[in-house]
C-alpha cells in the first residue's frame, strides 16, 4: 500500500494501481459536477457510482460527515471505517478469499475536519442476496456458494461481523462475494462461539430449509474436528 498527498486529498492506494493515482484524484474532484450522470445511490451522507477509468470498471463510494460525533471521531490522525475497510480488503485478497478488490481510499480535510471519505474498489457485476431474497430467486446453488465463501473466511481465521444479505453479492458465475468489513477481524482461528455469532446474522434472513442446506454445506467445508463440528452445530442450532 502506498500513501501520498495529491491536491487536497490524502491518498492510500494499492501497489498495483499507483499509476492511477492522478486520474483517480482528478475523477473524485469532479464528482460534484458529474455525479448526476453516474449516480447509483445518493443520500445526505453517501454517494455511490460506477465509472470506467482507463479500462477499469470501478465502484466509488463517497461518504460525508453525518454528525458532530462523527467529526470528533475522525479528527487527525484517524480516518475511520473507510480506511479500515480498505486495509482489511487488502489483507483478505492476500488470503485469496472471496472479497472485493480494493483500489484506493481518499480523504479530504479542511482545517483538520474530515470533509470527504472515498473508497474505490473494482466493480462486481452481480446481484445482492437481498435482491434475490426479495424476488424469490434464491436457489440451492446460491446457498451452497454462500456456505463455501463463509467457510473460506472462517477457515482462514476471519470473522466477518456483518453477514447480512446486503453485504453478499453473487456473481454471474454464482460465486458469493462477502463485502463491507466494518466489523471484520482477522485472527488465527475462530472459536465455536465466534463462528455461531457470525453465522447467526445470516440465519435470520434465510428460510429454515435454506439454512439447513447452508449449515450442512458449511460444516462439510470447515477444517474442524468432528467434536468441534458438533459443538458449532449445537450452538448455531
Query: The domain spanning residue 70 has which CATH number?
Result: 3.30.200
Closest among 178, 122, 124 to 146, alpha carbons compared: 178
Inform me whether the pLDDT recorded for 35 exceeds 80. no
Three-state SS at 101: coil
Domain that holds residue 25: 2-122
Domain ends where: 61, 88, 122?
Answer: 122
Extract the C-alpha cell encoding 229: 463440528
Per cent of the chain over pLDDT 70 is 87
pLDDT confidence of residue 109 = 79
Q: Please determine, for residue 108, whether its predicted confidence score (pLDDT) is greater than 90.
A: no
pLDDT bracket for residue 42 (50, 70, 90)? very low
Residues 7 and 109 in one domain: yes
Is a pLDDT exceeding 80 seen at residue 67? no
Q: Which residues pair with 41 in a beta bridge?
A: 48
Structural domain tally of the chain? 2
Residues of the chain with pLDDT > 90, as a percent, come to: 56
pLDDT per position as a tens digit, 171-193: 989 899 999 999 999 999 888 88
Q: Are 233 and 226 in contact (CB under 8 A)?
A: no
86 & 139 share domain: no
- Alpha-carbon distance of 135 to 113, in angstroms, equals 42
Phi-psi region of 56 (alpha: psi -120 to 50; beta: other; left: phi over 0): beta
Distances, alpha carbon 62 to alpha carbons 43, 92, 185, in Å = 10, 22, 23
Residue with cell 444479505: 165
Residues 74 and 172 in one domain: no
**Domain edge (last residue) among 66, 89, 122:** 122
Residues 133 and 232 in one domain: yes
Structural contact between residues 98 and 175, judged by C-beta atoms closer than 8 angstroms: yes
Angle at 34 between CA 29 and CA 40, to 5 degrees: 105
Amino acid at each position: 500500500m502506498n500513501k501520498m498527498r495529491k491536491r487536497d486529498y490524502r491518498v492510500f492506494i494499492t501497489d498495483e494501481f499507483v499509476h492511477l493515482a492522478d486520474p483517480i484524484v482528478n475523477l473524485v474532484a469532479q464528482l460534484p459536477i458529474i455525479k448526476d450522470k453516474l449516480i447509483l445511490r445518493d443520500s445526505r451522507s453517501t454517494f455511490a457510482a460506477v465509472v470506467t477509468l482507463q479500462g477499469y470498471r470501478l465502484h466509488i463510494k463517497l461518504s460525508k460527515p453525518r454528525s458532530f460525533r462523527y467529526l470528533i471521531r475522525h479528527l487527525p490522525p484517524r480516518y475511520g471505517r473507510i480506511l479500515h475497510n480498505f486495509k482489511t480488503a487488502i489483507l483478505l485478497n492476500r488470503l485469496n478469499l472471496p472479497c472485493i478488490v480494493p483500489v484506493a481510499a481518499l480523504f479530504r480535510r479542511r482545517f483538520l475536519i474530515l470533509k470527504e471519505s472515498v473508497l474505490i474498489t473494482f466493480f462486481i457485476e452481480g446481484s445482492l442476496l437481498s435482491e434475490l431474497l426479495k424476488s424469490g430467486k434464491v436457489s440451492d446453488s446460491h446457498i451452497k456458494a454462500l456456505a463455501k465463501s463463509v467457510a473460506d473466511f472462517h477457515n482462514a481465521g476471519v470473522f466477518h461481523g456483518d453477514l447480512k444479505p446486503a453485504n453478499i453479492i453473487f456473481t454471474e458465475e454464482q460465486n458469493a462475494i462477502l463485502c463491507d468489513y466494518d466489523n471484520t477481524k482477522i485472527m488465527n482461528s475462530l472459536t465455536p462461539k465466534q463462528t455461531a455469532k457470525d453465522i447467526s446474522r445470516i440465519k435470520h434472513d434465510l428460510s429454515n430449509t435454506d439454512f439447513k442446506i447452508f449449515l450442512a454445506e458449511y460444516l462439510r467445508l470447515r477444517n474442524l474436528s468432528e467434536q468441534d463440528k458438533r459443538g458449532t452445530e449445537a450452538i448455531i442450532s
